[in-house]
Amino acid sequence: MSSIIQLLPDHVANQIAAGEVVQRPASVVKELVENAVDAGATEIKLIVKDAGKTLIQVIDNGKGMSVTDARLCFERHATSKIRHAEDLFSLHTKGFRGEALASIAAIAHVELKTKQDQEELGTHIVIEGSKFVSQDVAVLPRGTSFSVKNLFFNIPARRNFLKSDTVEFRHIVDDFERVALAHPNIHFMLYHNGSEMFNLPQSNLRQRIVNVFGGKTNEKLVPVTESTEIMGIQGFVGKPEFAKKNRGEQFFFVNDRFIKSPYLHHAIMAAYEGLLKDGSQPSYFLYLDVPPHTIDINIHPTKTEIKFDDDQAMYAILRSSIKHSLGQFNVAPVLDFERDSSLDIPYDYKEKESEFPLIQVDANFNPFATETETPSRSFSSSSGGSHSFGSGGSNYNSGYKKQESNASWESLYVGLKTATEEIDLGEIQFESEEVTGSLFDDTEVESAGKRTYQIQKKYIVSPIKSGMMILYQERAHQRILYEQFLTNITVHHAASQQLLFPLELHFSQSEMAMIKELRSSLENTGFVFDAMTSEILVISGLPVNVAESEVNGLLEELIRDLQGDLPESSFSQSDRIAKSMARSLSVKTGTYLTEKEQENIVNSLFACKDPNVSPFNKPTFITMGVEDLDKRFAI
């Protein structure tokens, strides 16, 4: 009987290994750029065409490779960083598996040009699908140039599963940003289809963050610094007022390697407790320096997950450090027991006694005393004669007399008698009160004719012939807005409200690239864009049902919803945009609605084409018949 188990050929084994290492063009970018960093390069240039499907080229000025190393680097399990098994627990470099270049060469056309500084000539190697095509000597500059062309050319099924160019390029940008943020002392450049996307010169950590995410980021950052025996922390966190709904600007680096850690992320969220709105996510760029022997990096193929020896201590240190920084820079409320110098007594007044104001009181003053007569005064001329005024022979005495005030305060009560003598209580008439016969006021009586009611600011109840109908107000409004936006996008007749002052918003370059892809669809919903640069978006008009204060959150949530995939077809793209905008702008649970607003939602919902479910296939309303109520009461 023949043997069933057999060894796979090398080219087949390499293609299988490539499935683990190379998932998309971004995986190739990550491996090649990290190799350039390990080579000691001070300048790294990344050139991409068609989101990496046609070309990925990484050029660096590192130390290069010899002829032997250039040939051996494409063999499986070949590495320059590991000699013993113990080295896996003391790693200071990036890639170390020794399978990346062999896997890349198995599924693409690879061209390698490399030269060491002490050598006069370099090496030029061409490989196609794990097969060496040529190896020549060439005149080259110091460093390495690695070109990967026609990715997945021999695995068409894998190539067909790649997303659109926009999505694949965004993944490339994500991996590029992670490496660039970890190494601010290296000059990075990124070119896509001949256009320069990033040019990040050598700088400090804060400037690198600003260069990647835009100049507006500088005012959002709060520095964090801590040094302990377990780990050292440096970096920045974002101020709470700049928190976003998406998690795009959250970066953990351990020993200059980007990682993902939900456990440490929870520590940061605990530090922001009470400072963030529900659903908001803070920005952070944190660099942790941990002894290599206390972590295990090799637990995930992409090496983005790390196992820590003492993760509880790291949790406590990280949380307290961030809380201290937020309080130190007056972001969070703190208790400050230091003396306020502005409340000190000036030195010149230190020995002086305080002077109390003097109050003069006339002890003989009686406000109820009778006013005394004032003597009359005569005004005469210098000759002693009196002056005559007027005409017709009438004389007016120049002297005048003040009228005497004979009335005293007792005269105010003259003629009044005591109530006991004259007042007859029986003759008093009281204003009659109208008896309505109702326990409720007019407003409550009128409410008996209401057609809708709101319960817990969440549901709308409306009576119908067979019983009653209960609407979920948020889902119902989502369905209404979804059909409105979808109609506007497809029919191109949306109305816009012009802004008196244009609205200027700031986004990162990757976010702006996505907004440019969605520009035509957003304009069909009612947006009017005045200008679009690499970081700034100027809006002069908005859809009718969008407030100016909601625009930033609306676009951020739209970017977050489309972060995973941007549909290529126009209808799928319009559908995703309409769903995202409907979810952002719908009335949320906890919103009070007036009776007219309730009726408007009910009427608008049943004017929709599909009122039964929300855009996310969840029921919008239920009905309860009288029979159901009778069963409840066991009638």
Give per-residue pLDDT as tens, 100-140.
788 888 889 999 999 998 888 999 999 998 888 899 999 99
- 389, 406, 407: which is closest to 398 by C-alpha? 389
Query: What's phi and psi for 198, nearest 5 deg?
Result: -135, 140
Is residue 98 within 8 Å of 76, Cβ to Cβ? yes
Ranked by mean pLDDT, the top range of 123-132, 161-170, 366-375 is 123-132
Per-residue model confidence (pLDDT) at position 404:
46
Give per-residue pLDDT as tens, 190-243.
999 988 889 999 999 999 999 998 878 888 899 999 998 888 999 999 998 888
Residue recorded with tokens 């470099």: 93
Is residue 112 within 8 Å of 138, Cβ to Cβ? no
**Token pair of 517 as six digits:** 């892809």
Residue recorded with tokens 């056309």: 109
Task: Provide the phi-psi class of 56: left if phi over 0, else alpha when psi is between -120 and 50, else beta.
Answer: beta
The set of residues, in sequence order, having a beta carbon less than 8 Å from that of 455 and lying 6+ positions away, is 461, 470
Q: What percent of the chain has pLDDT over 70?
A: 75
- 230, 228, 243: which is closest to 324 by C-alpha? 228
Length of the chain counted residue by residue: 635
Task: Provide the phi-psi class of 567: left if phi over 0, else alpha when psi is between -120 and 50, else beta.
Answer: beta
Per-residue model confidence (pLDDT) at position 230:
87
Name the least confident of 23-32, 287-296, 443-452, 496-505.
Answer: 443-452
Is residue 259 within 8 Å of 178, Cβ to Cβ? no
CA 534 to CA 530: how far, in whole Å?
Answer: 14
Per-residue model confidence (pLDDT) at position 332:
59
- The SS3 of residue 495 is coil
Is residue 245 within 8 Å of 296, Cβ to Cβ? no
Categorize the per-residue pLDDT at 437 as very low, low, confident or very high, splitting at 50, 70 and 90: very low
Per-residue model confidence (pLDDT) at position 45:
95
Q: Give the chain's mean pLDDT.
A: 79
Task: Provide the phi-psi class of 439: left if phi over 0, else alpha when psi is between -120 and 50, else beta.
Answer: alpha
Q: Which domains occur in the chain, in start order? A: 10-200 (3.30.565.10), 205-328 (3.30.230.10), 455-623 (3.30.1370.100)
Q: Output the CA torsion 324→266→552→208 (10° steps).
A: 60
**Token pair of 1 as six digits:** 């009987």
Per-residue model confidence (pLDDT) at position 122:
92
**Token pair of 46 as six digits:** 């990344």
- The SS3 of residue 327 is helix
Identity (one letter) of the amino acid at 411?
S
